Chain A
Amino acid sequence: GENVEQHPSTLSVQEGDSAVIKCTYSDSASNYFPWYKQELGKRPQLIIDIRSNVGEKKDQRIAVTLNKTAKHFSLHITETQPEDSAVYFCAASDGSGTYKYIFGTGTRLKVLA
Chain B
Amino acid sequence: DADVTQTPRNRITKTGKRIMLECSQTKGHDRMYWYRQDPGLGLRLIYYSFDVKDINKGEISDGYSVSRQAQAKFSLSLESAIPNQTALYFCATSDPRLGSNQPQHFGDGTRLSIL
Asked whether A45 lies within 8 Å of B106 as measured between CB atoms, the reply is yes
Asked whether B101 lies within 8 Å of A93 as measured between CB atoms, the reply is yes
Binary CB contact string for chain B from 19 to 43 against chain A (1 if under 8 A, 0 otherwise): 0000000000001010100001111
Measured CB to CB, the nearest residue on chain B to A43 is B106
Measured CB to CB, the nearest residue on chain A to B41 is A105
**Complex-state Cα separation, A93 to B45, whole angstroms:** 13
**Complex-state Cα separation, A49 to B108, whole angstroms:** 21
Contacts of A91 in B (CB 8 A): 43
Asked whether B103 lies within 8 Å of A34 as measured between CB atoms, the reply is yes
CB distance from B12 to the nearest CB of A (A): 17
Q: Is B16 an interface residue (CB 8 A)?
A: no
CB distance from A112 to the nearest CB of B (A): 22
CB distance from A38 to the nearest CB of B (A): 9
Q: Is A100 an interface residue (CB 8 A)?
A: yes
**Residue of A31, A42, A51, A105 with most partner-chain B CB within 10 A:** A105
From 77 to 115 in chain B, residues with beta carbon under 8 angstroms from any chain A beta carbon are 90, 94, 96, 100-109
Q: Is B1 an interface residue (CB 8 A)?
A: no
Contacts of A44 in B (CB 8 A): 43, 90, 106
Measured CB to CB, the nearest residue on chain B to A4 is B42
CB distance from B29 to the nearest CB of A (A): 11
7 A–B pairs (Cβ distance < 8 Å), ordered by A: A32-B101, A34-B104, A44-B106, A99-B48, A99-B50, A99-B100, A99-B102
